[in-house]
Amino acid sequence: MKLGVAPFWKLAETVEDTKRMNRIVAGAASLNQVPLDWEGNCRRAIAAIEEARETGVGFLCLPELALTGYGCEDMFLSPEVGENSLEALTRLAAECRGMVVAVGLPLWYESSVYNAVALIVDGDVAGFVAKQNLAGDGLHYEPRWFKPWPEGGVEEIEYDGDTLPIGDLIFDIGGVRLGFEICEDAWVANRPGTRLARRGVDLIFNPSASHFAFGKQLVRERFVLEGSRAFACGYVYANLLGNEAGRIIYDGGTVIAAGGDYVAEGKRFSFQDHVLTAATIDLNLTRMHQARQVSHRPTVGELETLEVKTDFLPKWKGPVTTPMSEGSTVADLKEEEFTRIMALGLFDYLRKSYSGGFVVSLSGGADSAATAVLVKLMADLGIGELGEEGFRAKLGHIQFDDRPLMQQLLACVYQSTRNSSETTRHAAETVAKALDAEYQEWDVDALVEGYRSMVEKGIGRNLNWDDDDLALQNIQARVRAPGVWMLTNICNALLLSTSNRSEAAVGYATMDGDTSGGLSPISGIDKAFLRQWLRWMEEVGCSPDIVAIPELEVINAQAPTAELRPSEEGQTDESDLMPYPVLDAIEKLAIRDKKLPVEVWELMCETQPDYDKEQLRAWVTKFFRLWSRNQWKRERYAPGFHVDDKNLDPKTWCRFPILSSGFRAELADLESR
C-alpha cells in the first residue's frame, strides 16, 4: 500500500532532476483517419509523432480509436479487428522512442471489447486505460460494441509476450503523474477527472472522437479549461479530423490548458492529414494551484495496482508553444462554421470514395445552388491551405486534364419542362458560370409527356391538375433523375442530392426525383438557415479565404418554388406548406423537444403572436400528419452530413416508426380545443 502521494521533490535525486521535472512539453494531434485502414492510419499517426518529436514534444496525446478509426461500426465486434489493432499498436510503439504517446484502440479482454487507450513510454506499452462512460445518445452507439470499465477496477492483459495492467490507472512517468478522461468521460457529471485530481495527477489526457456540431467547440473549450482549473493540472485534448466514415465530420479542435488558463489551441477544419498543437506546461504552477485548493482531498492508502510507475522522463528540449493566434481557426459565425465543415466533409468524401467529381441537378433555386456553391468552396479552401499542387495530389485518383479545375470537379445540369421559367434558367446558368463549373441545359418536357401519355393509355383516361396534381408534379421531378444519373456514371462522379431538413420533416420531396443522389450534404440543414447563408455568401463572405459570390443575388431574389405546377398558379414552397420559420419552430418543439400537438400549438401561440391561432392550429396539424406519413422517405434519403444536432436522420439521430397511429388521438385533442 502507498501512504498517499509522495511529494514531487522526493522523486528527484538531484537538483537538475527537479528542474527538469518542473516543465514539460505536451502535445495533442488531430488525425484524419479512415475506418480499418491499418497502413494509412498508422502512417498518419507516425507522421504526427515524428513532427511532435522534431517540435520537442515529450508527452503526446492522439485521438480516441485512432488506430482503427472511430466509425468501424459492428466491425468492432470482429476478433480479427482486435488482433489487427494490437499489431498496429506494436508498429506504432516502435516509433515512439524518447517520448510518451497515448493512442486509442479497441481492446479485447475476457471476450468483451473495450474502448481503450494505450500509453507508450519510450517505445514500450506501459498499460491500458479503458473508457468508463460510453457515448450512447444521438448518433453514438458505443454500448452496442463496447463495455464500460468499472471505476477503480484494474486487471491484467497479455500483450506481445508481456503481462500489462488494464483499467482505471494513473501513470507515474519519472515523477510526472498522468491520468485519462476518454471523450465522453469528460462530458458526464461524475467525470473521472475529479478522482484523478485526488490522486495528484499533473496531466490529464483526453483522446476524443467528438463530432462537429454548430457551437460545440465552445462546450469543449469550457470543460477543458474548467478541468484544468478544478483539477489543478495540465489538460490535453485531442480530436479526430475530417470526414472519417461518411456522415460524421470532425473539426479537429485540439486544446491545451493548464491551471485554468488556455495555453494552445489547434487549427480547426484543416485539410491536412494531421495537425499538431504543442505547449509548455509548468508543473510547479499547477502543483501550487492544487496545494492551495482548500477543497483538495488527496487519496491516501491507494492500492499499488492503480498506479504504473516508470523512471523514464522525456528529455527537456526547451519551451514550445503553438500560439492560439497562429494555430487556431476560430469560426465566430454559424455561417463560417457551416462553410468550413461542409467544405472539409465534401473533400474527404470525394477522395475517400474515389469519385471523379460531383454532379448537381441545378434547378435555379436555393437548395441546389447552395450545394453547388459548397463544392466551389471546397476547392477554394482546400487550395488555399494545401496549394493547388497539394490539393490535386490529395485527389490523386482523379486524372485531371488541361480544363479549368472546377469544370472537372463540378458538372451542373438545368433540366426544364413547360412549367420551368426563364427566371430559374437564368439563375442556374448565372450560378454555374460564377462557380466556373461545367454547365448544360436539357429539355426533358418530351420525356414527361411521354410518361403521361403512356399512363393515360394504361388507365383509360386523361390526367388533369384537379384530380392528379401530385402525380403530375412528381413525374417531372422523377424524369430528371435518369439523365443526370447517366452523366454521373459517365464522369465516374458522385451525384449530390439537394433536399434540406425542412423538406425532410414534412416529406416535401419527390423520392427518386430531387432526392436522387449518392450523398445528400444539406439534408440536415433547415431551409431558413440555408437562405440566410446564401445571403451571407452573396453580400459578406469571410475574407480572405471565403470570398463573397454576388451572383447569388439571382437566387436570393426569388421565393423558393418547386416549379412543378403550371406557371399561372404561382406555386411557392411556403404556399404549399407554411412559412419556413414557422415550420422550423414547430419541428423543434415536436421533434427535438418531443412535445405533443396541443402543447406545440399553445407554445406556438405564445411565441408567434403575428399569426392567427386558427392558422397556427392548422399548420401544427399539417406538420404532425406529414411528419408521420413520411418517415419512409427519411429512411431512404442518401447519407447526409451531421453538422446540426437537430438532425432528422433516422440512422444516426432521430428514430421514429415507419408505421404509427399518426398522432390520431393527439390531433383530435388539438382539434377539440
For residue 436, give the C-alpha cell. 466556373
pLDDT attached to residue 319? 87
Q: ∠ at Cα 431 (545, 507), nearest 5°?
A: 100
Name the amino acid, one letter, at 470.
Answer: L
Mean pLDDT across the chain: 92
The CA-based dihedral angle spanning residues 362, 364, 365, 368, taken in that order and rounded to the nearest 10 degrees: 20
Tell which wins on pLDDT, 146 or 323: 146
C-alpha span between 524 and 619 (Å, rounded): 22
Query: Which CATH number is 8-327's, of 1.10.3470.10, 3.60.110.10, 3.40.50.720, 3.40.710.10?
Result: 3.60.110.10
C-alpha span between 266 and 263 (Å, rounded): 10
CATH of domain 334-576: 3.40.50.620
Give the pLDDT band (50/70/90) at residue 223.
very high
Give 60-83 pLDDT, tens digit per residue. Answer: 999 999 999 999 999 999 999 999
C-alpha span between 74 and 245 (Å, rounded): 13
CA distances from 112 to 168, 313, 472 (A): 17, 33, 55
For residue 623, give the C-alpha cell. 406538420
C-alpha span between 344 and 328 (Å, rounded): 16
Query: Which letter does DSSP use for residue 301 in this model?
Result: S
Query: Which helix (H) or strand (E) segment is 502 a member of?
Result: helix 501-506
Place of cell 452530413: 641
Q: Which residues of 571-594 are buried (b: 16+ CB within 10 A; e: fewer)?
A: bebeeebbebebbbbbbebbbeee
The CA-based dihedral angle spanning residues 543, 546, 547, 549, taken in that order and rounded to the nearest 10 degrees: -140
Q: Is the pLDDT of residue 320 over 90?
A: no
Residue 372: closest CA among 158, 555, 117, 619 = 555
Place of cell 427519411: 634
Helices (H), 353-468: 366-394, 405-409, 422-434, 445-459
Name the amino acid, one letter, at 413.
Answer: V
Q: ∠ at Cα 282 (279, 287), nearest 5°?
A: 135
Give 267-293 pLDDT, tens digit per residue. Answer: 999 999 999 999 999 999 888 887 787
C-alpha span between 327 and 510 (Å, rounded): 45
Give 337-359 pLDDT, tens digit per residue. Answer: 999 999 999 999 999 999 999 99
C-alpha span between 219 and 535 (Å, rounded): 28
pLDDT attached to residue 294? 57
Structural fold of domain 578-673 = Arc Repressor Mutant, subunit A (1.10.10)
Q: What's the burial of 161, exposed, middle or buried (CB within 10 Å: 0-12/13-18/19+)? A: exposed
Q: Strands across the sheet with 100-109, in order?
A: 154-159, 162-167, 124-130, 112-121, 100-109, 59-61, 23-31, 274-282
pLDDT attached to residue 10? 39
C-alpha span between 124 and 118 (Å, rounded): 10
Domain chopping of the chain, boundaries: 8-327, 334-576, 578-673
- Please state whether beta strands 203-207 and 176-180 pair in parallel, antiparallel, or not at all (unpaired): parallel
C-alpha span between 565 and 122 (Å, rounded): 70
pLDDT attached to residue 288? 85
pLDDT attached to residue 564? 83
Give 167-219 pLDDT, tens digit per residue. Answer: 999 999 999 999 999 999 999 999 999 999 999 999 999 999 999 999 999 99
Query: Which helix (H) or strand (E) segment is 490 a member of?
Result: helix 469-490
Give the pLDDT band (50/70/90) at residue 559.
confident
Place of cell 416508426: 657
Share above pLDDT 90 across residues of the chain, in percent, rounded to a whole number: 85
Yes or no: say if 102 and 60 are a contact pair by the CB < 8 Å rule.
yes
Backbone angles phi, psi at 199, to 5 degrees: -95, 10
Yes or no: say if 270 and 239 are a contact pair by the CB < 8 Å rule.
no
For residue 426, give the C-alpha cell. 437564368
Backbone angles phi, psi at 559, to 5 degrees: -85, 130
Q: What's the burial of 483, exposed, middle or buried (CB within 10 Å: 0-12/13-18/19+)? A: middle
Lowest mean pLDDT among 34-48, 308-322, 449-463: 308-322
Query: Which letter does DSSP use for residue 600 in this model?
Result: H
Name the amino acid, one letter, at 59.
Answer: F
C-alpha span between 516 and 172 (Å, rounded): 56
In angstroms, how far is CA 177 from the centroid of its own chain? 32
The average pLDDT across 539-568 equals: 89
C-alpha span between 142 and 518 (Å, rounded): 26
Q: Is the pLDDT of residue 332 over 90?
A: no
Signed CA dihedral, 7, 12, 14, 16: sign only? negative
Yes or no: say if 171 and 127 are a contact pair by the CB < 8 Å rule.
yes
Q: Strands across the sheet with 410-416, in order?
A: 438-443, 410-416, 358-361, 494-495
For residue 51, give the C-alpha cell. 513532427
Signed CA dihedral, 593, 594, 599, 601: sign only? positive
- List, in sequence order, every residue forming a beta bridge with 206; answer none if it has no partner: 237
The average pLDDT across 31-39 equals: 98
Cis preceding linkage at 150, omega within 30: no
Q: 498: Cβ–Cβ under 8 A, 6 or more apart, which residues?
A: 360, 361, 363, 367, 368, 370, 371, 514, 517, 520, 522
Q: Is the pLDDT of residue 327 over 80?
A: no
Q: In the chain, what's the furthest Cα-to-Cα distance?
A: 100
Tell which wins on pLDDT, 330 or 603: 603
Say how many Å lie between the first and final Cα of the chain, rounded.
70
Q: ∠ at Cα 214 (212, 216), nearest 5°?
A: 65
Residue 604: closest CA among 591, 590, 624 = 590
CA distances from 78 to 71, 85, 111, 112 (A): 14, 11, 11, 11
For residue 55, give the C-alpha cell. 517540435
